[in-house]
Chains A and B, each alone.
Chain A
Amino acid sequence: MISDFAFLISGAGLICLALFRLATSADLLMRVLGLNVLAIGIAMVLLVSARGAEGTDAVPQAFTLTGIVVLVGVTAALLALAERVAEARDE
């Protein structure tokens, strides 16, 4: 129970740090990194609340797995856009 609470605090802390960084940084790479940390924090909160008497609920686990795979696609697309923005500025 205390372990779950520790992980819940950790998840909320990750969300807090990532949101703060997203709001204060103008650096595109750090923003993408912040988005990743934010998603991991949300996944952590989701997984902690999936805990029950008979183990961890499979449905939120599947959501989280889907989220991780979608996130890597989003990260790659955002990085490509960021690189393109840099090129457009140079031209």
Chain B
Amino acid sequence: MTALLHSAGLVLMIAGTAFLAVAALGVWRLPDLLSRLHVLTKADTAGVALIALGAACLAQSFTATLSLLLCTLLVALSGATTGHLIARDHLDFASSQEDSP
């Protein structure tokens, strides 16, 4: 059981790292702000959640799992909110540019 959980944790963490790597690649390669945000908010949250799940499998303790859950919740919340704020600011800026050329 322990060995199974251990390998499951490793697989989850590798998957999470892959998600984060894809997000980094997306931010680097994509052309404009909105598509970058699109990549960043989703892949980032998913990557962190997967890594936290993997770490919880490896740690196998209740308190560690609780704090990992809290981390995931906070990353998801703040990632979504900052993504929204940046996009909103960008759109405001773009429309003000259109109004007063």
Task: State yes or no: do A and B touch (Cβ within 8 Å).
Answer: no
B residues whose Cβ falls under 8 Å from a Cβ of A: none
